[in-house]
Structure 1
Amino acid sequence: MSDERFELSRRNALIGLGTVGAASAGAGLGTSAYFSDEEEFTGNMMTAGELDLAVDYVVHEEQGSAGSYTVNSFTDEVNGTAAGEDLTLDGDGTAMSQTLADVKPGDHGHSYFCVTIDDNPAYVWACGELTGTSENGYTEPEPEDDNGEGELEEEILVDVTYCELNDAGERTSTGETILSGSLREVLGTLQAGVPLDGTGDGDAAAGGQAPFAGTGGDDGANPCLCFDWELPTTVRNGIQGDSLEFDLSFHAIQSRHNDGAQNPCADETYAADYVNPDGIGQPIPDGVARVDVSYGDEAVAYRITFDEPDGSQYSLADPNFASANFSMPFDLDGDGTYDYQVAWNAQGNDAFRYSGVESGPNWEKDTGTGWSAVPSSIAASKSGTQAVIVVPRSDLATGGNGYVFGLSASAGGEQPYVGIPVGGPYSGADNFTSSENGQNATLQ
């Protein structure tokens, strides 16, 4: 397979705004939420797409002396009182909204989502996006952080797990963990796209996940998703006045004639075949690397997938295979020189590291500065054969809408390797800091 580029419209990716994919092949719904410790929590608006995807949900916030708030579509109740309408999201445009005031340390809540696929089985994906952060109406000591961006998304802790609910929307059991971390980290991974597994496997990869059962078969019940969040009591006053907005959406793609690998959260996909030098003793035949790019209002997410045949003896995503590593460089303003790179396993410790470019030019990793910790503004994580790197959109907008990036993965020496674009994003010019061989891209 040659270097390929596939596009999915932004409109199709943001199902939370009421759009869906191809008729009968895809459906979606979404939520918008607004957290604030200043005045209000508005939004959490949910609209459904087509009738072949329905979702029941429970949303609950607990705020100590300020009280609690619950919406339950299983019982069609708001705060225990009949809503007078069917709250299940089934494609008829039903909307749910909620208001939460004064998010404070110690507050917590949960959201449960249970997907029903009408008739035929379907692959289900969860997508998300941090759409805005700000510092509003703060009181001291908030001014100690004057970057204009809120820290609330870094302080709220989130666990996303599979779970089971009873007919009243009460959780009866908790299954495997899908995501865990700060709200910012979780939303970054969701922005890149998370394939959900119909059997509740928390480690299922795209293309290897089980579809969700449809109502027309006898495959049993589907797992639900449970989002548990809390603002720890140890959080200091730096979050006073901070607010954030985010979207969460679900997509269903019929499993018939599909393998589940298509990422409906992505705006663009780049792919390239592995290269196995002649005569090597540890080849990875038929391997393909893919990078799914999802453009958001606040960040851009890159989902990296090493698609290797079942039963492969070796993997470029295995930190114990030879000198396996990968890196993603970025030329933020398209001026011909990379500005920084984020790399995995570069020092053989199964971790992500960061290197900028010094005048000269030279990569910091090749000078006395060496590799550095990944800055807090960048998120990087890896699980199995998939990784996610999330960078601020403002970085990539340094020189306008155009920028350059790439992917280079290898096991070192005479071992398999792959590059996006084909051949790899690095050249020998300017001590390998030149972006002349990188992938040109445009912010969407």
Structure 2
Amino acid sequence: MTGDNDSTDGVRFTRRSLLAGLGTIGVAGAGAGLGTTALFGDGESFADNQLSAGALNLRVTVDNIAHSTPTVRDNTEITPKDTADGEAVTIAVSDLKPGDWLLLEWNPEVIASPGYVRVTSVDEDYSNTEGRTPESETDTDSPGDLGDVLLSTIWASYEDLSGGISRGDLTGLDTTTDNEDTGLADWELPDLDGVTASGAHYTTMNEAHEVYRSGVVLRDGNGEPLTVGSNSEAAWFYQLLELPIRVGNDVQGDEVSFTLRFDAEQTRNNETPFDGA
């Protein structure tokens, strides 16, 4: 090799020596950084954050939508109005005669959030009293006898029938007030004991109270708790009150008092409404 080539060889970097040199520089740079005291900084804030609890409001409307005679209609008084929304509504029906009947339409609405609805016959508010004791009454001993014969049955129809209804429009007794769980294909008049020719058994006021005193959750046709409100299903249910035609004189002047309480619970995150009631 010539001298020029030897000189070139003297300053030639191999791949190994180049990598080693870069490594040395990197270590030196890192070491220099350890002594730095001026640090960059930045911060971002999200102000006025809020978490709001939702609302749920239950409102119930009731109306006497069908009746055996105009007299029954005129003797039905709902006060102070037909809508319960934070206050009690009283329904008073006077001067019922054997063969009289009326149909109450209850329409619970859940506003703001969907909810389940439970109906309870309040135990401490349920009573049978003798009331007046006219001369022809054959049983004047307390308690009164009206609760044992006045029929109170719920019909499993979750559609609004108030646009025009006759008693023949009712088909299908709700299982809560059909003691034999038979339902009805067509309208049938009950006998004195509340049993029809097909075997369906209408419940009396006393029997219905025993079922509803612990609370009954409204359910859909599949037996699942019904979701009411906020673009979900609406709920109507119909209570038929009827004094059988052959009731006799035992109940003259007697009175039945009852309170139905409606409660609502949210559906979201609630697999067992009202603790599985």
- With normalisation by structure 1, the TM-score equals 0.38
Q: Classify 1:70/1:52 alpha carbon distance in 2 versus 1 (closer, same or farther; 3 Å).
A: farther
Q: 2:60 aligns with which of 52, 55, 63?
A: 55
Give, in whole Å, the separation in 2 of the partners of 1:137 and 1:96.
Answer: 24
Q: Note if contact 1:162-1:223 (Cα within 8 Å) is conserved in structure 2.
A: no
Q: Deviations over 1:90-141 (max 9, x none)?
A: 44x4x64454331111111111112221232222111003522211221244
Alignment of 1:144-183 (within 5 A): 144-163=138-157, 164-165=159-160, 168=163, 174=171, 177=174, 178-180=176-178, 181-183=203-205
Give, in whole Å, the separation in 1 of the partners of 2:210 and 2:151.
Answer: 13
1:255 maps onto 2:267 in alignment? yes
SS in 1 for 2:116: strand
Give, in whole Å, the separation in 2 of the partners of 1:65 and 1:213.
Answer: 33
Give, in whole Å, the separation in 2 of the partners of 1:140 and 1:110.
Answer: 30
Q: Classify 1:54/1:251 alpha carbon distance in 2 versus 1 (closer, same or farther; 3 Å).
A: same
2:242 matched to which residue of 1? 230
Give, in whole Å, the separation in 1 of the partners of 2:83 and 2:254.
Answer: 32
Give, in whole Å, the separation in 2 of the partners of 1:187 and 1:154.
Answer: 11
Q: 2:73 aligns with which of 68, 71, 94?
A: 68
Q: Note if contact 2:116-2:267 (Cα within 8 Å) is conserved in structure 1.
A: yes
Amino acid at match of 2:133: Y
Q: 1:131 aligns with which of 122, 126, 130?
A: 126
Q: Classify 1:98/1:175 alpha carbon distance in 2 versus 1 (closer, same or farther; 3 Å).
A: same
Q: 4+ runs of 1 displaced by more than 6 Å?
A: none
Give, in whole Å, the separation in 2 of the partners of 1:114 and 1:159.
Answer: 16
Identity of aligned residues (%): 24
Q: Which has the larger radius of gyration?
A: 2
SS in 1 for 2:225: coil
1:317 matched to which residue of 2? none
Q: Note if contact 2:153-2:177 (Cα within 8 Å) is conserved in structure 1.
A: yes
Q: 1:113 aligns with which of 92, 106, 112?
A: 106
Q: Classify 1:239/1:173 alpha carbon distance in 2 versus 1 (closer, same or farther; 3 Å).
A: closer
Q: Note the C-alpha offset of 1:235.
A: 0.3
Give, in whole Å, the separation in 2 of the partners of 1:262 and 1:226.
Answer: 22
Amino acid at match of 1:242: D
Give, in whole Å, the separation in 2 of the partners of 1:100 and 1:194.
Answer: 24
Q: Note if contact 2:116-2:273 (Cα within 8 Å) is conserved in structure 1.
A: no
Number of residue pairs matched?
195
Of Structure 1 and Structure 2, which has the larger fraction of its residues in helix? 2
Of Structure 1 and Structure 2, which has the larger fraction of its residues in strand? 1
Q: Note if contact 1:176-1:200 (Cα within 8 Å) is conserved in structure 2.
A: no
1:309 matched to which residue of 2? none
Q: 1:190 aligns with which of 194, 212, 235?
A: 212
1:214 maps onto 2:229 in alignment? yes
SS in 1 for 2:213: helix
Amino acid at match of 1:145: D
Q: Classify 1:245/1:258 alpha carbon distance in 2 versus 1 (closer, same or farther; 3 Å).
A: same
Q: Classify 1:211/1:65 alpha carbon distance in 2 versus 1 (closer, same or farther; 3 Å).
A: closer
Q: Note if contact 1:62-1:69 (Cα within 8 Å) is conserved in structure 2.
A: no
Give, in whole Å, the separation in 1 of the partners of 2:135 and 2:100.
Answer: 21
Q: Note the C-alpha offset of 1:173.
A: 6.5
Amino acid at match of 1:214: G
Give, in whole Å, the separation in 1 of the partners of 2:132 and 2:75.
Answer: 27
Aligned CA RMSD, in angstroms, stands at 3.6
Give, in whole Å, the separation in 1 of the partners of 2:108 and 2:270.
Answer: 19
Amino acid at match of 1:104: K
